[in-house]
Structure 1
Amino acid sequence: MYGRAVISWVGLCLLLLLPACTPRAARPVVAPGGPEDLASQFLDAWARNDVAAQRKGLLDAPPDFDAQHARWRQDLGVVASRFEQPSLESDDGVTAVVRFRGVHTLRGLGDWEVESRLRFERRNSRWGLRWTPEVLHPAARPGDRFGRTRSWGPRGALLDADGDPLTVPGEVIRIGVMPGRVKDRAAVASVLQAQLGVDPSRVLSALNAASAQPEQFVAFIDVRPERYQQVRAVLAPVPGIFFRKKAARLSPAEGFAAHTLGRVGDATAEALQLLGPLYQAGDVVGLSGLERAQERALAGRPSGEVRLSHRSGDSEVLHRFDGEPGRDVRTTLRMDVQAAAEAALMDVTWPAALVAVDTSTGEVLAVASRPLGEALHRALTGRYPPGSTFKIVTAEALLASGLKPDSRADCPVEVTAGRKRFRNFESEVLGTTTLRRVFALSCNTAFIQLEAKLDRRALEDAARRFGFGVGYDVGLPSPGATFPEPRDDAEHAAAAMGQGRVLATPLHMATVAAAADSGVWHAPRLLADAPPGPEARLSPGTPKALRELMRAVVTEGTAKSAASLSGLMGKTGTAEFGTAVPPQTHAWFVGVRGGIGFAVFVEGGGVGGRVAVPLAARFLQALDAPDAIALPPGRL
């Protein structure tokens, strides 16, 4: 009995479980020409925006079917539609209802999900779709009209390291022309170039293109109110030139961190393509710098509604898009350090850059590029041979091998490496002296000879410790620095003095100076909330000796003109480039003082000690001034 009961119970369990174990019923096959098949064809055509194909399957199509669909798309800003597989809800052989779910992407708002029905009738043994506005939305009736609203919340601000705003709401003056009022095109182009640096060819080209609309205002440049007051008296009397006020986000002063902060303005076609469907023509967006890189955080998300207006005059909200206000983005920039950098480059006419970083963290404290009217942010994206500033790296490799600042070094006028002759700048000869002196006076031949005695990979390893070849994310595009493996003795010799294929940005060279002071190379970063990037520790014992060498550059070497600045350490660089004879040179100076590492670079500027050092002195003097945190005239 007991055994039979057990068997019976097991059998009962198997019977109860059997239905669960059987395969699920397959989805019914959709009959060709049936309601589901026709619904799929209609929705596929809708997704392709093929109105003619949609119309083919309709019974008694409304005469304005095409117009209704076009108006629906236009009024809602529909850029794409996609649909799930429709499902049959009812079918009595004469009429049928197919339920479907669609997702419509609305330009500037996002996805709107709609569930509705398609109603079919059978005539002469064939099914057809009876279309009504209900297809577009269950609440829609003939004569109703779809519409939408959309608005952005307040844009977030770019903040400095202390949380104070670097950008504030303000006003600019847009300067342009009315083509039909211009009497002398050459005069207009000339005065805009002379006063504001506008390219004359751009003015003439725009005037030619706008000839069909003579009363259309053609804008060329936006200027701050203080700049407008300076040029108005010259521009206003010229027939055809007009001025318009425009709301804008302004930095504390004209040109202040201009390349880094960037600018906002009407979205361009390129910006719309990159930003995606949440944006539309007419939106004000970040066009450059951090305003562009941090656009999604600063702008937030637009809010809006999909509305249906009935013939009765009533309206209802079909869907709401919940927006988000923009978020503030805190940078690592320090207002006082940035103001000092701007002051240092205020009247520099050569292409130039100045970058300052915190020696203990790699945080970027200031970054400035010139000229302001050029889009290239040379401080971050320009890569150049670092010249003798790279001797900091070479010296670290020498010190790591056991040399001391007082170790012997020979400085002849010329040496040969790999069948290539290398000479000192201005044919300098120091004879037999010390590592300290050849570093302070930047003797090329000494460093070439000393580096040749090292292991073949010693210089490459030292470069790696200073971040060469290391990728990092600053917060804006910046390619860092490269140290390709030297292919022969000649390339080794060139690399030892920062020439050959060695390249670095001014930003990266600021981190090199900082690492020499702190003993740790930190990848630079511009955003306060970004995680720290890669870092590398210098060889044990080398930072102290490096500081001694870099101090000697200021007290007795090529940067002696800045000896009055107490505590300053650094390295000058005069980097050759191009094929001219004698070669052109970039002017460099990288330095450290008071926990700030910095690099000054003047493109094609000449000799580092004569050009870059005075700019570095001006930077530090501005930073030391009692009113160091005061900004140039024009702060709002």
Structure 2
Amino acid sequence: MRRRGLLALVVVSLVIVAAALVALVVDSRRVTGSPQATGQAYLDAWAAENLAEMRKLVASPPPDFLDQHRRLSTDLQILSIRLTPGAVVRRSEQSADMPFDGARQIGELGQWRFSSVLHLAVRDGGWKVVWTPDTLHPGLAANERLRMTEIPVPGTDLLTRQGKPLPHDSGAERYFQDLTGKVDDLYVDPPTGWAIEAVSSTGKSRRLVVFRQAAVRTFRTTLDWWTQAAAARAMDGIADPAAIVAVRPSTGEVLAVADRLPGQGAFYKPYPPGAAFERLGQEAEEFGFGGKLKSGLGGVCGTVRRAGVGDAPGADAIGRNSVRATPLCMALAAAAVQNGTWRPPRLMSEDAVGRLETDGRPKPRKLPPQVLAPLRSMMTAVVTDGTAAPSGLPEGVSGTTGTAPAASGQDHAWFVGYRGDLAFAVLVEHGGAGAAAPIAARFLDAL
């Protein structure tokens, strides 16, 4: 009997111990809260700048948890933060991720949007945020801090005369890039922008996180959006390097520069003008040859050296041998024929050009009537009955064709002309005879 009682006591004890173990296991599986609730509470506390509450929701927060958040807010001048949670993704029974979108309102940058993820896990019977510097901002390493810095930037947004950006693939982009720096020189205050950098603890490693350019000033050039677009589209599909320059004869304003020549050739690379230069030769200086063009962006007109021996005088007279001209120069020559006065080109207002070209600009020059009359007659005849007649040029156009030998390959092709208060030059490198006038026709038809 005594043995039975002892056995019963042992059995009862084992049952009690087993029950206790089962209860302990069941309690261990009871997790308070949910990843959704913890993640939402953390984001709410973050948006309210309740750092103490945020710290309570973090598993094993670093000793400087509060300092890291305060330093970020101070360094970036954060005025407020808005956080929007996404749907929780369960990774396992005890881990989950909550993606979220954020928007920091920063003093100098304005609104800075970012996207990140809260990593959550079960710790000590409840859901907690597993915090790293990456939680503070995506991509931030443990040894980095974010800081804002002011950096110099191009501060002028150049526009066409209508206040619009350049047309797509216009061929004037390189000119606008160069002109931006010159226009910036007109202003006393240097343009700046704001950037946020990630800087290592040693200060030796820096990487750009985000950049926001400050509000820029706008500056209208003389380029006409419609004329520029027509010039650019007229050259679409042309395999050879080419350029169209258009100017306003009455003012010298550059209305279009669609340049697909190497090295901004429309302004800076003189070519033999061929027959497009013929009865201009004797009045070359009156058309700007031999000097620099002070347009606000520079440019050269061309050269006419005195002929040497043999057939050099004849070659010069038809735009070969020592004669060289840029498309800009030839457009100005056509403008002078149309208007009766050669005017220096400009890409901006007279006042702005005057401030940039401090050593002065050449004065307009009237052409002698005895030179103008035969030139106008010849240029009209070329279009109506001459070499340009088959090109489909619209009514009212006067102009002249030309070809000039290249160092290798086919001749360069020119067409130079005017219609109303518009003068232009078309050059096609190695285009061969007759290549330029049809491009001029497409250009004019699109206006």
TM-score w.r.t. length of structure 1: 0.40
1:522 corresponds to 2:412: no
Give the one of 381, 389, 394 matched to 1:560: 389
**Residue deviations 1:566-587 (CA, integer Å, cap 9, x gap):** 1100010010122x6xx73100
CA distance in 1, matches of 2:274, 2:341: 22
Partner of 1:571: 400
CA distance in 1, matches of 2:365, 2:310: 27
1:468 corresponds to 2:289: yes
Give the one of 275, 288, 304 matched to 1:483: 304
| Structure 1 counterpart SS, 2:405 | strand
Cα 1:292–1:391 change in 2 (3 A) is: same
Cα 1:346–1:300 change in 2 (3 A) is: farther
Q: Please report how far the alpha carbon of residue 298 of structure 1 lies from its aligned counterpart in structure 2 after TM superposition.
A: 7.7
Partner of 1:603: 429
1:550 corresponds to 2:371: no
CA distance in 2, matches of 1:615, 1:480: 22
CA distance in 1, matches of 2:154, 2:265: 32
Partner of 2:84: none
Matched residue type, 1:592: Y
Alignment gaps of 5+ in structure 1: 1-146, 167-250, 263-288, 305-323, 395-458, 624-636
Q: Percent identity?
A: 40
Alignment gaps of 5+ in structure 2: 1-146, 194-213, 355-360
Partner of 2:28: none
Structure 1 segment 283-362 matched on structure 2, within 5 A: 289-297=178-186, 300-301=189-190, 327-362=217-252
CA distance in 2, matches of 1:153, 1:535: 37
Structure 1 segment 259-274 matched on structure 2, within 5 A: 259-262=174-177
Q: Please report how far the alpha carbon of residue 326 of structure 1 lies from its aligned counterpart in structure 2 after TM superposition.
A: 5.0
Matched residue type, 1:380: F
Matched residue type, 1:290: L
CA distance in 1, matches of 2:405, 2:192: 55
1:386 corresponds to 2:215: no
1:161 corresponds to 2:50: no
Q: Please report how far the alpha carbon of residue 517 of structure 1 lies from its aligned counterpart in structure 2 after TM superposition.
A: 1.0
Q: Please report how far the alpha carbon of residue 156 of structure 1 lies from its aligned counterpart in structure 2 after TM superposition.
A: 2.6
1:584 corresponds to 2:413: no
Matched residue type, 2:250: S
Q: Please report how far the alpha carbon of residue 348 of structure 1 lies from its aligned counterpart in structure 2 after TM superposition.
A: 1.2
CA distance in 1, matches of 2:426, 2:377: 21
Contact 2:342 2:365 in 1 (8 A): yes
Matched residue type, 2:395: S
Cα 1:154–1:493 change in 2 (3 A) is: closer
**Residue deviations 1:382-412 (CA, integer Å, cap 9, x gap):** 2111100101404xxxxxxxxxxxxxxxxxx
Contact 1:389 1:498 in 2 (8 A): yes
Partner of 1:612: 436
CA distance in 2, matches of 1:334, 1:303: 29
Partner of 2:264: 377
Matched residue type, 2:276: T
RMSD: 2.9
Q: Please report how far the alpha carbon of residue 150 of structure 1 lies from its aligned counterpart in structure 2 after TM superposition.
A: 2.9
| Structure 2 counterpart SS, 1:598 | strand
Q: Please report how far the alpha carbon of residue 492 of structure 1 lies from its aligned counterpart in structure 2 after TM superposition.
A: 1.0
Matched residue type, 1:165: K
Q: Please report how far the alpha carbon of residue 599 of structure 1 lies from its aligned counterpart in structure 2 after TM superposition.
A: 0.3
Matched residue type, 1:349: A
CA distance in 1, matches of 2:374, 2:312: 27
Partner of 1:150: 150
Cα 1:253–1:380 change in 2 (3 A) is: same
Cα 1:517–1:299 change in 2 (3 A) is: same
1:254 corresponds to 2:83: no
Matched residue type, 1:379: A
Cα 1:302–1:554 change in 2 (3 A) is: closer
CA distance in 2, matches of 1:564, 1:347: 19
**Residue deviations 1:578-635 (CA, integer Å, cap 9, x gap):** 2x6xx7310000010021110000011111xx21000000000011xxxxxxxxxxxx
Matched residue type, 1:484: R
Contact 2:170 2:228 in 1 (8 A): no
Moved more, 348-357 or 540-549: 540-549
Count of aligned pairs between the two proteins: 275
**Residue deviations 1:529-581 (CA, integer Å, cap 9, x gap):** 32464322211233233211100000100000245511100010010122x6x
| Structure 1 counterpart SS, 2:259 | strand
| Structure 2 counterpart SS, 1:158 | strand
Matched residue type, 2:426: V
| Structure 1 counterpart SS, 2:396 | coil
Moved more, 534-543 or 501-510: 534-543
Matched residue type, 1:301: P
Contact 2:154 2:184 in 1 (8 A): no
TM-score w.r.t. length of structure 2: 0.56
Q: Please report how far the alpha carbon of residue 300 of structure 1 lies from its aligned counterpart in structure 2 after TM superposition.
A: 4.4
**Residue deviations 1:189-235 (CA, integer Å, cap 9, x gap):** xxxxxxxxxxxxxxxxxxxxxxxxxxxxxxxxxxxxxxxxxxxxxxx
Structure 1 segment 415-494 matched on structure 2, within 5 A: 459=282, 462-494=283-315
| Structure 2 counterpart SS, 1:328 | strand
CA distance in 2, matches of 1:325, 1:255: 25
Cα 1:603–1:150 change in 2 (3 A) is: same
CA distance in 2, matches of 1:551, 1:302: 50
The structure having more radius of gyration, on CA atoms, is: 2
| Structure 2 counterpart SS, 1:379 | helix
Cα 1:153–1:485 change in 2 (3 A) is: closer
